Amino acid sequence: MRITCLLLVLLCSLPATAQDGELAGPIWGEGPEDNGSGGTKDAGATASTAQQVSSPLAAASGSTLTRINGRTFAGLLQDDLVDLYEISITNPTTFLATTQGSGFDTALFLFRKVIGSDGVAEARAVAMNDNSISSVTYSKLVGSSIPGLTAGAHYIAVTKSGGVPTGFKSPDNDPLVMFTYTQGSTAIVLPTATQATYTLADWANLGEGGDYQIEFGGCVVTRSGSCSSAIVLGAGVYSFGNAGTSDSSATRIGLGATCGDVGAWISNPSWFQLGACDGPVQISVCPSVTTATYQMVVFAGSCGDLEPIACGTLGACAGGTGSTITLTPDPCTTYYVAFGARRTSGASPSSAGTLTITCTPNGPSCGVAGSGSCFSPHATPTCDSLTCCSAVCALDAFCCNVRWDNICVQGAYATCAPPPACPPSDPDLDGNGVIDGGDLAILLSQWGT
Ligand SMILES: [Ca+2]
Ligand SMILES: [Ca+2]
Ligand SMILES: [Ca+2]
């Protein structure tokens, strides 16, 4: 168990991504945050791997989106040269997306989300721009220059200038370019009528990017109403803006079989993924409207294959009637939480409210001053950064119960964000007594930070 979990992290982890999202807008970070909250994965390159700009904390009709912060890079094990986000355009005439302030020469691509005949989401070309004006390298798309732009779900992608999406005319064909543009062009480029029918499949001519920011107008962070759009919430206190969610039979979670609450359901729930914690977790949801009752269900597994494992206990809270769950998570299991107004056949108001997640780590406390750097091995358990120590121990309790050894140090380099400001003076980065390729891999994985 110990080796397996950490090895997974070491193999799969990527350099820390740009931070400072606010989880319900107006600023969205590609994630993860310092406490583990945020996007669950890199913003991908196709419709199926796009990061949804969606949050359980957003208002029922969406919360304003003003910016996305993220990063693309060329990595040792894996390149990340495209970031694609699913965004919701609410006002096509004020729609704006600009990469001004980004750290490289960007190109921006906008796609419409359509659902194919097989029920799978597809991305179709709408417009792109390389340079806003001739004296700059940032990109800018404005709704007034995009004929036929409609409100609704879209995808937006950022790459280094020169990159171009390719798409299928039909599944039997090789992918063809979806936009024809000249590098350095200041035009807002539209696809040809034929290109507009292609389905995004891949990208060509990609180059190394860096940190970027995309400023938005006319867009919202949608409320996360499905498992697939769930972001991670780690320990913390969060405000949610659930007021106005409606009862909808398609999204009901029955509370009879799962919770013994016959004839009741959660309707139109909001979803999140529970952040890692090495120890008991308490989750509480409390609606601010005094006549509202909020309930939640915890599921284990993956989206599409979820098993309910716990129901909240209802009780009076600071507002109306809230719900509390305490569970001891298995570090290698993924948990999803759905919460919302508990409804029966009678009226049951929805409400804004507060969500509180408390993590009580087992063993000696993380983050105690003088307990040793998380990035150097020592004979005692834990280390002096609460965030980093908690993240590593959630994957490997040995580090908090026995000793902060070389494996824990490797775990710190692989999981902790942000990494140390400067590399340590000892080039034996993984502390195994030899200066070798392992140290180089760690160094390269943190390149740029
Ligand atoms: Ca990225
Ligand atoms: Ca990416
Ligand atoms: Ca450019």
Measured in angstroms, how far is the CA atom of residue 42 from the centroid of ligand 2? 5
Measured in angstroms, how far is the CA atom of residue 23 from the centroid of ligand 2? 19
Paired residues of 336 in beta bridges: 273, 299
Measured in angstroms, how far is the CA atom of residue 71 from the centroid of ligand 2? 8
Q: CB-based contacts of 349: which residues, under 8 Å, 6+ apart?
A: 289, 291, 292, 341
The tokens of 349 are what?
């108001």
CA angle centred on 348, ends 229 and 352, rounded to 5°:
50
The tokens of 249 are what?
């039979």
Location of structure tokens 């902790």: 416
- Distance in angstroms (rounded) separating the CA atoms of residues 158 and 106: 7
Ligand nearest, relative to CA of residue 45:
2
Ligand nearest, relative to CA of residue 16:
1
Q: Check if the beta carbon of residue 304 is closer than 8 Å to that of residue 230.
A: no
Ligand nearest, relative to CA of residue 106:
3
Give one DSSP letter per residue of 346-360, joined into a string: S-----EEEEEEEE-
Ligand nearest, relative to CA of residue 68:
1
Burial of 116 (C-beta count, 10 Å sphere; 0-12/13-18/19+):
exposed
Q: Which one, of 336, 367, 385, lies nearest residue 229 by Cα?
A: 336
- Distance in angstroms (rounded) separating the CA atoms of residues 447 and 429: 14
Measured in angstroms, how far is the CA atom of residue 370 from the centroid of ligand 2? 38
Measured in angstroms, how far is the CA atom of residue 123 from the centroid of ligand 2? 16
Measured in angstroms, how far is the CA atom of residue 8 from the centroid of ligand 2? 19
Measured in angstroms, how far is the CA atom of residue 82 from the centroid of ligand 2? 5
Ligand nearest, relative to CA of residue 80:
2
Q: CB-based contacts of 335: which residues, under 8 Å, 6+ apart?
A: 273, 274, 298, 299, 300, 309, 327, 329
Measured in angstroms, how far is the CA atom of residue 43 from the centroid of ligand 2? 4
Ligand nearest, relative to CA of residue 109:
3
Measured in angstroms, how far is the CA atom of residue 359 from the centroid of ligand 2? 30
Ligand nearest, relative to CA of residue 139:
3
Sign of the CA dihedral running 241, 247, 252, 256: positive
Q: Check if the beta carbon of residue 277 is closer than 8 Å to that of residue 390.
A: yes
Structural domains of the chain, ranges and CATH numbers in brackets: 21-223 (no CATH), 227-359 (2.60.120), 366-449 (no CATH)
The tokens of 382 are what?
């834990």
The tokens of 360 are what?
């009580």
Measured in angstroms, how far is the CA atom of residue 220 from the centroid of ligand 2? 21
Ligand nearest, relative to CA of residue 30:
1
Burial of 398 (C-beta count, 10 Å sphere; 0-12/13-18/19+):
buried
Measured in angstroms, how far is the CA atom of residue 214 from the centroid of ligand 1? 13
Ligand nearest, relative to CA of residue 162:
3
Measured in angstroms, how far is the CA atom of residue 18 from the centroid of ligand 1? 9
Location of structure tokens 């700059």: 136
| pLDDT tens figures, 47-58 | 999 999 999 999
Measured in angstroms, how far is the CA atom of residue 50 from the centroid of ligand 2? 8
- Distance in angstroms (rounded) separating the CA atoms of residues 441 and 14: 12
Measured in angstroms, how far is the CA atom of residue 151 from the centroid of ligand 3? 26
Measured in angstroms, how far is the CA atom of residue 81 from the centroid of ligand 2? 6
- Distance in angstroms (rounded) separating the CA atoms of residues 111 and 164: 13
The Cα diameter of the chain in Å comes to: 69
Q: Check if the beta carbon of residue 129 is closer than 8 Å to that of residue 161.
A: no
Measured in angstroms, how far is the CA atom of residue 49 from the centroid of ligand 2? 9
Ligand nearest, relative to CA of residue 17:
1
Measured in angstroms, how far is the CA atom of residue 51 from the centroid of ligand 3? 22
Burial code (b: 16+ CB inside 10 Å, e: under 16) for 120-151 equals eebbbbbbbbbbbeeeebbbbbbbeebeebee
pLDDT for 4 equals 39
The tokens of 94 are what?
């004020």
Element (H, E) at 28: strand 27-29
Across the chain, which has 449 residues, the per-10-residue mean pLDDT values are 45 40 83 73 90 93 94 86 97 98 97 93 97 97 97 98 94 89 97 96 95 97 93 92 83 91 93 90 97 96 95 96 95 93 86 94 78 90 87 86 89 72 58 75 65
Q: What is the DSSP letter of 369?
A: T
Q: Is 399 helix (H, G, I), strand (E, B) or coil?
A: helix
Give one DSSP letter per residue of 116-180, joined into a string: -TTS-EEEEEEEEES-SSTT----EEEGGGSTT--SEEEEEEEEETT-EEEEESSTTSPPEES--
Measured in angstroms, how far is the CA atom of residue 391 from the centroid of ligand 3? 37
Q: Check if the beta carbon of residue 241 is closer than 8 Å to that of residue 63.
A: yes
Location of structure tokens 């983050």: 367
